[in-house]
Amino acid sequence: MKVISGMRTELAAREIWQSWFRWTTAGEFAGFLAPALVGALTSSPQLLVLAGVIEGAVLGAAQAVVLRRVDHAPQARSWIGATALAAGFAWAVAMLAVHNGERLNTLPLVAVLPIATVAGAGVLLSLGTAQWYLLRHHFPGAHLWIWANALAWGAGLLVFTAVTTPLWQPGQSPALIALIGAFGGLLMASTMAAITGSALIRLTRMT
């Protein structure tokens, strides 16, 4: 009986991971189209931050679909709101860095490194921290979610940069720029979804 129960538990965990991977990949890909399109049309940091909020809301809504199947999961409305705000914050930090890029280039390396570290931490930790605030009421090991998300988004951004950097070239049409960004966003989304899905399964096993 224990063997059968264990097999059922593993099967349920696999199904949740697969569902999380599909929904999170689709949600992040669809949400990322907002900043990808805005970035192709304008360099306005305000509009890009707003697009980031939309990205987070779409991602949060997709993840909430799967969380309904997980015991003691946070409410969907709270999850979507926290994810949207965190995504907007991450984009705001990124836009501050981009907007002040020329000024930062005039500073010595010893001054730039701490600034870059803080900015990078703000981007990578924002989403996981916001979602952890909700998960901590339901899962004893919820703090692991912060680091899993940091790893997931770090890996996803590396994949995005590695793919899009050689493809983006000066003089390209907005449509092509958006298409390349969307392709990189899909790869970023699937990378992030795979890692956070594994972290979610680990959390459920700790209850």
Read off the pLDDT of residues 121-139 as tens digits, 9 standing for 90 and up.
888 899 999 999 999 988 8
Q: What is the mean pLDDT of the chain?
A: 87
The DSSP secondary structure of the chain, one letter per residue, reads: -HHHHHHHHHHHHHHHHHHHHHHHHHHHHHHHHHHHHHHHH---HHHHHHHHHHHHHHHHHHHHHHHTTSTTPPPHHHHHHHHHHHHHHHHHHHHHHHHTHHHHHTS-HHHHHHHHHHHHHHHHHHHHHHHHHHHTTT-TTTHHHHHHHHHHHHHHHHHHHHHHHHH--TT--HHHHHHHHHHHHHHHHHHHHHHHHHHHHHHHHT-
Is pLDDT of 114 > 80? no
- The 10s digit of each residue's pLDDT in 4-37 is 334 346 668 889 999 999 999 999 999 988 988 8
